Structures are given as structure tokens and as C-alpha cells.
Amino acid sequence: MGTRGWHECHSSKREGRGEQISARRREEAAQVLALFQSRGLQEKKLPQRFSGDIWDHARCTLTRANMLTLPFEESRVMCEPRFGANYPRESLPESLEQGRQRNPERSNPDMREVEDDISEREEEDDREDDQDEDGLPKKRGPRKKKPGKEQNDRAKLRRQEANARERSRMHGLNAALESLRKVVPCYSKTQKLSKIETLRLAKNYIWALSETLSAGKRPDLLAFVQTLCKGLSQPTTNLVAGCLQLNARNFLTDHNGEVMFSSRSTYEAMYPYPGSDMSSPPGHSGGGLDTGAKPFRHYGYSGAYEPYFENPSPESGSPHFDGQMSPPMNFNGIFSLKHDEPPEYGKGGHYGVRYCGAPGRAALAHNSMYRVSPEARFPYDLHVRSQSFQAQGEVNGSFHN
């Protein structure tokens, strides 16, 4: 780890010997501070790995001086982020020792040299600081014991446990992401969407479904897919288009990666948003996931039109829900996540764009109500259910399958 040596070198402990710093050393620290400032260098810009006598000298001296012994006002400059105050103030030899244990073959010879130098001076200071100006032994508080082998082993063990927990946590996160991959309209076991693309596509999907629900009309399929692909990378756009058996040439991608269509967005035409960009999912001004996205509109469930789609992925065949996760629903303008619905919830419901040639297409052909305009020449049908939902629960159900 690149910054480790730097961090370790700059972690010093307030307790123990650090309290007694000689005036000479404090003065030395002030000189180094001045040196930094005279060079117009800020601690933030200090190189993580540096060599050279100036830096080594400064670094060692600052460490030895223990910034906390300075009045706060003076030491503030050193206590900015990543430079002292926010770091655990372990004594230098301890941290160095731990660092060596973690990384026995530290490659940076400069750092090793400096550390050795520091150690030598540390010993020297121990001797020097044993006596005060009158040569009398100084009174000291209880000296912090160096960690023994047992403590080091314990620290190691705890670190390993923390690593295992972190691994497990990340695995859980990845599992959740995998679940998400399976419910967005493009799922392939062979060509997985990247994490970021999965999140983007999911966001677009939610947005598109919300728009469909709020509009209470049949969605324009092309615009629906366009919305899905907003902000996605070109490869992912191609992948989604491929999953939907679309020809990616139907899309024009501008230099920002935004998916454009050659004519006015029919989606926009269908769902005019007064004062807002209907065709853009929130957070696409910059082409990525943005945290400052405009909030979802409050939609009222119209009840007049309830499209429900079937999983479009040719590979998956049918929507793959693991029964734990559910797409967000929009009831009376409130988005909610339902996690505990039974797997058979909404049995028989379909959502998604039915892939032509996929099993079951013929079965649904009879109730195919929506066909893409010939100009799009999409080889699939978008199926909508003929009957209206009777209750919100039914709406929910259709999305849960």
C-alpha cells in the first residue's frame, strides 16, 4: 500500500513519552514547518512516496516532534486531513514495527533508511530525555508497553477476521447485484453487465416503468428501450439491444454516450412533461449515476392501463426472481420495496418485452395487443394484459413475477 509507510511514520502517540518533548525538538519542528511553508507545499500535496534529504529530514523531524505537543493553533496546519490529528497516535516504533511485520519486504529503501534513522534517534532521545536540565531524572508517567507477541498475534487475528467479514460483506453485495442483474431487462449468464451498468440499467428500468404507469397509456416501445439505454455505455447498449433483438443502429449515440434517436422522441411525444424532460431518467445530465438526481415525480396510479412485461432475456426464458427481491412499486406516488412477498405472488403475470421465438410466444400471440410500428421493425411484440388490474395488489403481483 502506497501510503502506508507515510501514515505509519506520521502516527505518533500522545501518551507515554510523547508528552515530554524538548524545546530543541519543538524548535526543530517549527523550522521544518517553516521549510514546508517556504516551499509553498501543503501537507495534502506531500508525495506518498518521496525520497530526498529535505523530505526525509522534515518527515523524521515532524514525527519526532509529535505535533500534539504543540499548541493547537500552531499544530493545526499539521492536523489537516491525513496529517496527524486524524490519525491514531501510536508511537512510532510500534507502528513501524507493525508495518514491518505486515510488509517485511518493504521495497522502498528510502523509507527503510528513514525508519532506521528514526529508531536510532528514538533511542538517543530516550537516553537524552531521561534527565532534565538539572541532570535529575525526569518523572514520567507509566510508559506504554510495546505490544508483545501475543498482542501482535491478536491484532493479526482481528485483522484477518475483519478481512473475512469484509469479503463476506462484498459477496453479499455482489449477490444482491446479481439479483438485480436478473431482474433488469438484459440478463445473460455469459455476458454479465458490469456493476455500474447494472445499476444504471436498473435505474432506467425503474424510470421507464414508472413513466409507463404514470402515463396510463401504451408505451412507445422504441422510446421505452431508448429510456433503458440512457447513459449506458455503447457495449451495454448493444448488449441490451441484442437482448431485445434490436438493431443497435436504431440508436444514435452522441459523443456523451447519450442515446439519441434520429427523430423526435416518440416517448417524449407520448408523455409530455411540462417543465421537465420526460425522456430522461433522473440523473442523466452527466451520463452516470448521480446522487443529485431529481426526485421521482409523485405519480398517481391511473388504473387505466396496466402493462406488464415479460422478461425479455432469451436466455433466462422466464423472469428470474429469487423470491426475495421485488421491483420497486409505485403506489399513489410512493415507491416502496417489498421483500417478503411469496414467490407465487402475481402468478401468471408477465412483464417485459417478449422475445420473438422464445418459448411461450405462441401462447401469448393471441393476446398480443401492441405491435411496434413497422419502421422500427422490431422482431418482437410488446404484450399488455387485456384486462384491467382489479386492485393494487394485482398490480404488484404482475411485477413480482
Residue number with CB closer to DNA (102 or 218): 102
Q: How far is the CB of 90 from DNA (least distance, A)?
A: 8
Cβ proximity to DNA: between 15 and 129 the closer is 15
Give min distance, CB of 102 to DNA, in A: 5
Nearer to DNA among residue 18 and residue 219 (C-beta): 18
Shortest spacing between CB 112 and DNA, in angstroms: 16
Whichever of 102 and 361 has its CB closer to DNA, that residue is 102
- Alpha carbon distance 319, 323 (integer Å): 11
Torsion angle in degrees (nearest 10) through CA of 248, 249, 253, 258: -40
Residue number with CB closer to DNA (160 or 336): 160
Distance CA 186, CA 203 (A): 13
The nearer residue to DNA, 227 or 236, going by C-beta atoms, is 236
Angle at CA of residue 374, ends 372 and 377, nearest 5°? 80
- Residue-wise over 198-228: b if at least 16 C-beta within 10 A, else e? bbbbbbbbbbbbbbbbbbbeebbbbbbbbbb
Whole-angstrom distance, CA of residue 49 vs CA of residue 94: 21
How remote is the C-alpha of 49 from its chain's centroid? 27
Minimum distance, C-beta of residue 52 to DNA, in the bound complex (Å): 19
**Dihedral, 19, 24, 25, 27 alpha carbons, nearest 10:** 110
Closest distance to DNA from the beta carbon of 188 (Å): 13
Closest contact distance (angstroms) between CB of 200 and DNA is: 10
Distance CA 264, CA 32 (A): 65
Cell numbers describing residue 95 = 507502528
- φ/ψ of residue 304, rounded to 5: -85, -25
Footprint on this chain of DNA (rule: CB under 7 A): 1-4, 7, 11, 48, 86-88, 98-99, 102, 158-167, 169-171, 174, 192, 194-197, 233
Write a three-state SS string for 91-111. Answer: CHHHHHHHHHHHCCCCCCHHH
Q: Which is nearer to DNA, 172 or 300 (CB)?
A: 172
Shortest distance (Å) from residue 122 CB to DNA: 20
